[in-house]
Amino acid sequence: MTSHRGWICFLFLTTLTWAQTEKPAVPSAPPKAPTVSHAAGKSSDAETVARDAAVITIPGLCDRPVSSKTAADKPAVECKTIVTRAEFERLVDTVAPTIAPPARKQLATQYGMALVMVGKAHQRGLDKGPKFEELMRVARISVLTKQLNESLQEEAGRVSDSDIKNYYDKNEPAFQEIDLQRIFIPRSKQAAEGKDKATDDAKKTEQGSEEAMKKVADSLRARAAAGEDFDKLQEEAANASEFKGKPPTKLGKIRRTSLPPTQAEVMDLKPSETSQLITTPNGYLIYKAGERDTLPLDKVHDEIVSTLRSQRIQAALQAIQQSATPELNDKYFTETLPDSPGQTPAANRNAPPVKSPESGPK
């Protein structure tokens, strides 16, 4: 590999992104794709190819930039670029480690065309000058940021069995399940909600409807605590509110994380115990607890690993961000930035309007 290939990978990724978003015009004669060894697309044959054997060959593309005089002195057949199996597999491991073997041929073709574009960029001198240097500086920041994120994720993913067990023991309530029944009572009658609420009479009607439904909810809660059937009580709630539809009463096994924070108290109910009336923006809820059990560790193993990994990544990123805080020059960012097109210049925004000659006092 020559020195000019050191930044090829980044340009290659940029080229791939561009190729997916742009739709170039169809050329009259499509360029000939680089020659790709069939071993790159067949995993069964790939192992028979030597590590230093060519898997991509690009005739006519010099592997290193040469002067026109030197290029003219050499036969055209000697000017070619070769990518060996070792070089290509190193590229795959860097930019697409999970790519399926059949897709490697397409990747090789795209990479080969990216090398052709780089060669043309060299010929035009686009790899020199302050703009190129600044782009490479920004590219380096992007690559290092990506590598740091990958490193943090790798470190955070090293979760031991003891870490998992400790988290499980300390957060056992989070893995409890409880069989729940529920009654929903709308805040007001549905017929009242459809009326015009602008008039005083309408507002009084709506207020009376809400007070009536609150009494219904209190009554149903008392009857639920006394042991009456939840399906029967839910039907009465729907009839009293003229609610269309019948909400289900049997929710099955529910975990604490499945409930809104305002309803988490339900998880503390004892078997056969009924909750107090819970007020929500849409109405009232009544819960009744059934059997409770705790999920075994093997059932929540992957969930705990994911939770610990996320917590560690978040903690690591927070520590990095707190280690140094960028400070911005407020004077520059609030006073000296150019105005957007169509905006009044900042210096004139507080100035009085200028009257046209035709507009005098009337």
Tell me the per-residue pLDDT of 5-53, one tens digit each, with 9 for 90 and over. 544 555 455 544 433 333 444 444 445 556 665 544 455 577 899 999 9
332 within domain boundaries: no
120 and 192 within one domain: no
Q: Does residue 184 share a domain with residue 98? A: no
CB-hemisphere CA count at 13 Å for 97?
A: 2
Residues 80 and 182 both lie in one domain:
no
pLDDT at 177: 95
Q: What is the pLDDT of residue 323?
A: 95
- What is the edge-to-edge ordering of all strands in the sheet holding 80-84? 35-36, 54-59, 80-84
Task: Round to whole Å and give the CA distance between 8 and 293.
Answer: 57
Give me the pLDDT at residue 15, please.
Answer: 42
How far is 7 from 140, CA to CA, in rounded Å?
A: 9
* Among candidate residues 266, 295, 324, the one where a domain is terminated: 295
CA distances 109 to 35, 63, 115, 232, Å, are: 8, 17, 10, 68
Do 284 and 218 reside in the same domain of the chain?
A: yes
Report the chain's C-alpha Rg in angstroms.
Answer: 35
186 in any annotated domain: yes
Range of the domain at 256: 168-295
Order across the sheet with 278-280: list the strands.
250-255, 176-186, 283-294, 278-280
* In-domain check, residue 354: no
Together in a domain, 72 and 177: no
pLDDT in the model for residue 95: 87
> What is the rounded CA–CA span in Å between residue 236 and residue 360?
73
Q: Are residues 72 and 173 in the same domain?
A: no
Q: Which of 128, 152, 180 is the last residue of a domain?
A: 128
pLDDT value, residue 21: 39
Give residue 244's region: left, alpha or beta (phi > 0; psi -120 to 50). Answer: beta
Final residue belonging to a domain, choices 245, 269, 295: 295
From the number of C-beta atoms within 10 Å of its C-beta (0-12, 13-18, 19+), residue 284 rates as buried
Q: CB of 176 within 8 A of CB of 248?
A: no
pLDDT of residue 22: 39
Number of domains in the chain: 2
Amino acid 230: pLDDT: 96
Element (H, E) at 153: helix 130-156
Tokens in use for 131? 């703009």
**Is the Cβ–Cβ distance between 118 and 4 less than 8 Å?**
yes
Please give the mean pLDDT across all residues of the chain: 80
Q: Which residues of the chain have pLDDT under 50?
A: 1-4, 6-7, 11, 15-30, 39-41, 65-72, 75-76, 192-194, 337, 346-347, 354-362
